[in-house]
Amino acid sequence: MVVTGAAVVPGSSVKPCPLRAPLVVTIVGLPCRGKSLASHKVARHLSWRGESAKVFTVEENATNETLREISLFFKEGNNVAIIDGMHLTRASRQTVATFCADSVFHQLLIEFTCNEKCLEENITDTVRFYRNLDQSTDWECRFREGNERHTPAFEPCAPTEGPLITVNNSEDPMFHSVTARGVRGSTQTAILGVLASPVIRQQTFYFSRHGESEYNVLGRIGGDADLSPRGMKYAERLARQLGGPGSAPDSPRPKVIWTSELRRTIHTVQNIPGPRAAIKDLNEINAGICEGLTYEEIQERFPQEFAWRDQDKFKYRYPHGESYLDLLQRVDSVVQALLTNTDVLVVSHQAVLRCIMAYFKGVKPDDVPYINVPLHTLLVVRSYGYDFVVETVPLKVECVDTYRIQPKNCSTTRTTADALVTVPAHFDAPLSQQMSTIS
Ligand code: F6P
């Protein structure tokens, strides 16, 4: 049975659209209404969640060439095309509507408006961005002229044109508003959710794993161990970097600090000034029956599980525990909350930070479990136009490496040596004990 996504009038020639048919999103609105920032935010979010979305930027209207590119994009197995341009007239939008009806694609219109204050802020921000790239153009004049030229042509979307989301953009959440009509299915609902909160133009976030823990030293996973002596040293170094004791007067000071509920993250931020919250969704991946074990012990006790995880680390779920797929869903609310803020410091764990960094780096789900997020390293993420730039700042406090790359042999019949070949080095006893044995 084909589940259809649109009501079909009996006797009409409209073909029913299967629920999982590709979606074409047409962005409508005058220049500098926040269309591009929002389009890219939607594409980033959908791709992060496992859909394959892409923004197709057009000058004013989608041409036949654009529509051909979109058809090709869908033939390659992708499913959401966002046409970011102006599409100011009903006639230009009709071309896309006809293309969608003929090809049996879903279509969604998103119309952006904003008040005078927001428009001025958008112009200032866009001019600043483009001026950095090219100083020879009078960007301000160009945007203002474009705005005046296009305003008389603008025909707002009519209720009969198709499913429609209207966004009245503002950075202030109390003035930002969204209405929806005819929206259906999980992808369109997800888009509505992303558009519901304002896009903040300039954002900086700070991310760090906790300082090295007693479990990291021993190569054990999960648990709620406290910091090792080197982990405590990292906590002091991080505080010096972020407005705590010994920091430079101009050092950045996070407005708010989010940690997991586990001791090692809470103790890592204890010397950093600022309001803080311990958030359960930032707790490390739950390794179920493998909690507290080393990778060597997992191989010894559950060799099949260890191999299955290596075969598909993203989808593999520890018995009685979680997968990276579960984790990605768990941290969605954290990422959405981050995006309505700026100057937030997040101190969490290897797997959780991989999922969060995947959003900012635009990494595909299958590659998320192999993103390298080393211990004792501060990651600074800054918005750059509709993109983000990540700066990696190693704070130079010695620690173990916990990064295990995928081994070549992932078969369930592999030898123990093959299974353990990429396990990072660790100690067999806590560092404090080793010191006392040596002295
Ligand atoms: O080793 C530290 C740690 O945070 C563990 O607690 C966790 O199980 C692991 O990293 C996650 O990394 P991976 O998915 O690569 O095993």
pLDDT digits (tens, 9 = 90+) for 248-286: 999 999 999 999 999 999 999 999 999 999 999 999 999
Residue 368 CA, ligand 1 centroid: distance in Å: 13
Whether residue 175 lies inside any domain: the answer is: yes
User: What does the pLDDT average to over 139-143?
Assistant: 91
Does residue 215 have a known ligand-binding role?
yes
pLDDT of residue 1 exceeding 60, the answer is no
Cα(378) to ligand 1 centroid in Å equals: 18
Asked whether residue 89 is domain-assigned, the answer is yes
Instruction: Tell whether 2 is covered by a domain.
Output: no
User: Is 284 among the residues known to form the active site?
Assistant: yes
Identity of the amino acid at 210: H
Whether residue 232 sits in one domain with residue 181: no
Measured from the Cα of 209, ligand 1's closest atom is 4
- Tell the residue nearest (CA) to atom 1 of ligand 1: 221
439 domain-assigned: no
Amino acid letter at 96? V
Three-class SS of the chain: CCCECCCCCCCCCCCCCECCCCEEEEEECCCCCCHHHHHHHHHHHHHHCCCCEEEEECCCCCCHHHHHHHHHHHHCCCCEEEEECCCCCHHHHHHHHHHHHHHCCEEEEEEEEECHHHHHHHHHHHHHHHHHHCCCCCHHHHHHHHHHHHHHHCCCCCHHHCCEEEEEECCCCCCCEEEEECCCHHHHHHHHHHHHCCCCCCCEEEEEECCCEHHHHHCECCCCCCECHHHHHHHHHHHHHCCCCCCCCCCCCCCEEEECCCHHHHHHCCCCCCCEEECHHHCCCCCHHHCCCEHHHHHHHCHHHHHHHHHCCCCCCCCCCCCHHHHHHHHHHHHHHHHCCCCEEEEECHHHHHHHHHHHHCCCHHHHHHCCCCCCEEEEEEEECCEEEEEEEECCCCCCCCCCCCCCCCCCCCCHHHHHCCCCCCCCCCHHHHHHHHC
Look at the chain and report how many structural domains it folds into: 2
Do 177 and 217 share a domain, yes or no?
Answer: no
- Within this chain, do residues 148 and 211 fall inside the same structural domain, yes or no? no
Q: Quick one: average pLDDT of 386-405?
A: 97
Instruction: Round the average pLDDT of the chain to a whole number and report it.
Output: 93
Q: Is residue 14 part of a domain?
A: no
Whether the pLDDT of residue 438 is over 80: the answer is no
- Which of the following is catalytic: 176, 210, 349, 376? 210
CATH code for the domain in which residue 265 is found: 3.40.50.1240
Q: Which atom of ligand 1 is nearest to the CA of 350?
A: 4
Structure confidence at residue 19 (pLDDT)? 79
Query: Is there a single domain that holds both residue 355 and residue 317?
Result: yes
Distance 221 CA to ligand 1 centre (A): 6
Instruction: Clarify whether residues 225 and 180 are in a common domain.
Output: no
Indicate which residue's Cα is closest to atom 13 of ligand 1.
351
CA 313 to ligand 1: nearest atom: 14
Last residue of one domain, picked from the residues 149, 172, 196: 196
Q: 264: annotated binding-site residue?
A: yes
Q: Which of 262, 326, 349 to mutate to test the pocket of ligand 1 (most atoms within 8 A of CB)?
A: 349
210 is catalytic: yes
12 assigned to some structural domain: no
Q: Are residues 216 and 280 in the same domain?
A: yes
Average pLDDT over every residue of 18-29: 93
Q: How far is the CA of 262 from the centre of ligand 1 (A)?
A: 14
Which one of the listed residues 111, 171, 284, 305 is annotated catalytic? 284
Please indicate, yes or no, whether residues 285 and 365 belong to a single structural domain of this protein.
Answer: yes
Within a domain: 426: no
Which atom of ligand 1 lies nearest, measured to the CA of 219? 1
Confidence (pLDDT) at 4: 44
Query: Residue 166's closest CA among 148, 191, 186?
Result: 191
Q: Is the pLDDT of residue 10 over 60?
A: no
Per the CB < 8 A criterion, the answer to whether 57 and 45 are in contact is no
188 & 210 share domain: no
User: Is 209 one of the annotated binding-site residues?
Assistant: yes
| Enclosing domain of residue 216 | 204-421
Gap between the Cα atoms of 382 and 205, Å rounded: 7
pLDDT of 114 strictly over 70: yes
| 297 and 395 fall within a common domain | yes
From 196, 230, 260, give the residue that closes a domain.
196
- Ligand 1: residues whose CB is within 6 Å? 216, 221-222, 284-285, 287, 349-351, 369, 402, 404
- The reply to whether 213 sits in an annotated binding site is yes
Instruction: Please give the number of the atom of ligand 1 that sits closest to the Cα of 351.
Output: 11
Residues 146 and 79 in one domain: yes
Token reading at 277: 């919250």
Average pLDDT estimate for 313-322? 98
Q: How far away, in angstroms, is 338 Cα from ligand 1 center?
A: 23
Mean pLDDT (whole number) for 358-376? 97
pLDDT score of 163: 96
CA of 356 to the centre of ligand 1 (A): 15
- Per the listing, tokens 């995880």 go with 309
Assign 13 a pLDDT band (cuts: 50, 70, 90): low
d(CA 357, CA 391): 12
214 appears as a binding residue in the annotation: yes
Q: Are residues 246 and 133 in the same domain?
A: no
Kindly state whether residue 364 falls inside one of the protein's structural domains: yes
Residue whose CA is closest, atom 12 of ligand 1? 351
In the predicted structure, residue 437 carries a pLDDT above the cut 70: no
Residue 3 banded pLDDT, cuts 50, 70, 90: very low
CATH of residue 110? 3.40.50.300
pLDDT band per the 50, 70, 90 thresholds, residue 403: very high
286 and 359 co-located in one domain: yes
CA-nearest residue, atom 10 of ligand 1: 350
Indicate the pairing of strand 377-384 with strand 256-259. Answer: unpaired
User: Does residue 419 surpass a pLDDT of 80?
Assistant: yes
> Distance, CA 272 to ligand 1 centroid (Å)?
25
Q: How confident is the model at residue 9 (pLDDT cuts 50, 70, 90)?
A: very low
